[in-house]
């Protein structure tokens, strides 16, 4: 199979528990400074008990930074998204006549407002202007208006693989000739809905998450938003924006095994990675770093590890890999986008970021993640995102240096 033209990444923006923009996220990754800690903003009885990756900025201040009037209803996911998307599109003329699409991913949507005003809406008019913000699509529509995107707007919600799928759709639509440029990514704020959801599933750790550790006991949730700007290679050159990296492959498969759990042999994950390599026209041996999904739930890390062993053949052949979830927490629909940004940073700076909180390899696998910052030659990075419903995606990013 011939590898089709690569997709250029010409802009990116990110906000997470470890930084308010791409460079501050990078600084935290380089210095192995995680952002997981006690709950400060989310109003829940779990405050003081569960640890999260929270963005330490209140909604009012986010709105102020975006110059959004105080009386307009924007939920937290949208506010985070706008900050990241504004950074991603800075210096790019979206009105230059190129067909531009916005493809955003979210699972929380406006649920944080709905859960807050669920009974209040019925009795008081004060917050009723938030009623329309509930649907996931509403957030994307607000973004489109703010950014001035009119050619194509859509929203993907496939649980924790959502943003990876948004990135993939952007690339596919550009390749199909339907768009010239795509702003792609995802956003999810913390909510009582999701914190309680994962807690009720008994996969929320009492402490700090420990991806790929034998004694891992679940995830920490986080909140984040990240967006990338994709273009076909030629217009990227024409706009004289130097690509930061290329998206050269992507794959998607369904595990078709269970509503929430991954199959033991990581079939969906295996198929997604295999396809990403095929689309890029690369052998597994060309991969220099894997940004793993690595949620630190017992099930995910075992299944993902099995899939890595199947793709690379044996323990020795697996390139350096790490999960950055111990920095940011699991940011659900944003995870695939924030980790895409981290993958591009790895390529730009030729650095592999640490898998924190690891001490003992999973006995059944024997695989050991990269636990410290590593400077090394990196040309190709795989980034995995897996979600409920068996939804498995893998993206392949390649260096712009070659």
Which of residues 100 and 370 has its CB atom nearest to another protein in the complex?
A: 100
* Cα-to-chain-centroid distance, residue 402: 26
Matching residue, tokens 């209040």: 120
Q: Per DSSP, what are the bridge partners of residue 231?
A: 8, 181
Which of residues 122 and 363 has its CB atom nearest to another protein in the complex?
A: 122
Asked if 138 is part of the footprint of another protein (rule: CB under 8 A), the reply reads yes
Which of residues 195 and 378 has its CB atom nearest to another protein in the complex?
A: 195
5, 38, 93, 128: which one contacts another protein (CB under 8 A)?
128
CB atoms within 10 A of CB 286: 15
Question: How many residues are given for the chain?
Answer: 402
80 to each of 138, 280, 292, 300, 392, how far by Cα in Å? 14, 32, 24, 27, 25
CB of 385 to another protein, least distance (A): 13
SS3 content of the chain, % helix, strand, coil (to 5): 40, 20, 40
Q: Per DSSP, what are the bridge partners of residue 100?
A: 181
Asked if 118 is part of the footprint of another protein (rule: CB under 8 A), the reply reads yes
Q: Under a CB-based contact definition with an 8 Å cutoff, are residues 294 and 209 in contact?
A: no
Q: Under a CB-based contact definition with an 8 Å cutoff, are residues 193 and 108 in contact?
A: yes
Which of residues 259 and 316 has its CB atom nearest to another protein in the complex?
A: 259
Give me the 262-291 binding string for another protein, x by CB under 8 A, dash otherwise.
-----xx--x--------------------
Catalytic residues: 160, 293, 330
231, 255, 288, 351: which one contacts another protein (CB under 8 A)?
255
Asked if 233 is part of the footprint of another protein (rule: CB under 8 A), the reply reads no
Q: Under a CB-based contact definition with an 8 Å cutoff, are residues 345 and 28 in contact?
A: no
State the virtual CA torsion across 352, 353, 356, 360 in degrees, nearest 10. -10
Asked if 134 is part of the footprint of another protein (rule: CB under 8 A), the reply reads yes
Which of residues 30 and 99 has its CB atom nearest to another protein in the complex?
A: 99
DSSP state of 347: H
Q: Under a CB-based contact definition with an 8 Å cutoff, are residues 131 and 121 in contact?
A: yes
Asked if 298 is part of the footprint of another protein (rule: CB under 8 A), the reply reads no
Asked if 387 is part of the footprint of another protein (rule: CB under 8 A), the reply reads yes
Q: Which stretch binds another protein (CB under 8 A): 137-145, 220-228, 309-317, 343-351?
A: 137-145
Task: Give the CA angle between residues 352, 293, 395 to the nearest 5°.
Answer: 75
Asked if 249 is part of the footprint of another protein (rule: CB under 8 A), the reply reads no
Residue ranges in 186-205 that form contacts with another protein under rule CB under 8 A: 192-193, 196-197, 199-201
48, 177, 316, 363: which one contacts another protein (CB under 8 A)?
177
User: Which residue in 89, 311, 108 sits closest to 192, CA to CA?
Assistant: 108
Q: Which stretch binds another protein (CB under 8 A): 66-74, 92-100, 114-122, 367-375?
A: 114-122
Which of residues 300 and 370 has its CB atom nearest to another protein in the complex?
A: 300
Asked if 258 is part of the footprint of another protein (rule: CB under 8 A), the reply reads yes
Measure the CA–CA gap between 274 and 231, rounded to whole angstroms.
24
Which of residues 128 and 238 has its CB atom nearest to another protein in the complex?
A: 128
CB of 46 to another protein, least distance (A): 7
Q: How far apart are the first and last CA of the chain?
A: 21
Q: Which stretch binds another protein (CB under 8 A): 62-70, 112-120, 229-237, 317-325?
A: 112-120
Q: Under a CB-based contact definition with an 8 Å cutoff, are residues 288 and 377 in contact?
A: yes
Task: By CB under 8 A, name the binding residues for another protein.
Answer: 44-46, 107, 109, 111, 114-115, 118-119, 121-122, 128, 131-132, 134-138, 140-141, 144-145, 150, 152-159, 165, 169, 172-173, 176-178, 192-193, 196-197, 199-201, 252-260, 267-268, 271, 387-391
């Amino acid at each position: 199979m011939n590898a089709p033209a690569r997709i250029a990444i010409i802009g990116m923006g990110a906000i997470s528990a470890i930084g308010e923009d791409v460079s501050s996220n990078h600084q935290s990754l380089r210095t192995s400074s995680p952002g997981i800690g006690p709950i400060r903003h989310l109003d829940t009885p779990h405050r003081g008990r569960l640890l999260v990756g929270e963005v330490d900025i209140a909604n009012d201040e986010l709105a102020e930074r975006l110059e959004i009037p105080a009386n307009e209803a924007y939920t937290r996911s949208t506010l985070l998204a706008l900050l990241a998307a504004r950074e991603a599109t800075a210096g790019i003329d979206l009105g230059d006549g190129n067909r531009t699409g916005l493809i955003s991913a979210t699972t929380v949507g406006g649920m944080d407002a709905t859960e807050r005003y669920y009974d209040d809406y019925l009795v008081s008019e004060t917050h009723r202007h938030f009623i329309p913000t509930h649907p996931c699509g509403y957030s994307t529509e607000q973004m489109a208006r703010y950014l001035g995107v009119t050619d194509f707007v859509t929203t993907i919600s496939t649980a924790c693989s959502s943003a990876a799928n948004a990135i993939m759709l952007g690339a596919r639509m550009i390749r199909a000739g339907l768009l010239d440029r795509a702003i792609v990514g995802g956003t999810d704020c913390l909510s009582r809905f999701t914190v309680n959801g994962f807690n009720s599933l008994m996969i929320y750790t009492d402490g700090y998450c420990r991806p790929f550790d034998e004694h891992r006991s679940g995830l920490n949730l986080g909140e984040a938003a990240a967006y990338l700007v994709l273009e076909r290679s030629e217009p990227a050159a024409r706009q004289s924006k130097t690509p930061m990296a290329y998206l050269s492959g992507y794959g998607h498969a369904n595990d078709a095994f269970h509503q929430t759990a991954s199959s033991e042999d990581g079939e969906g994950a295996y198929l997604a990675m295999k396809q990403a390599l095929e689309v890029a026209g690369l052998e597994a041996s060309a991969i220099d770093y894997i940004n793993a999904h690595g949620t630190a739930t017992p099930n995910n890390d075992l299944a993902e590890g099995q899939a890595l062993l199947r793709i690379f053949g044996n323990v020795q052949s697996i390139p350096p890999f790490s999960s950055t979830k111990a920095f940011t927490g699991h940011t659900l629909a944003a995870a695939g986008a924030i980790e895409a940004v981290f993958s591009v940073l790895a390529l730009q700076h030729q650095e592999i970021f640490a898998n924190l909180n690891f001490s003992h390899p999973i006995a059944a696998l024997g695989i050991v993640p990269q636990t410290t910052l590593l400077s090394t030659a990196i040309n190709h990075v795989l980034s995995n995102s897996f979600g409920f419903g068996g939804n498995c995606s893998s993206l392949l990013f390649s260096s712009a240096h070659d």
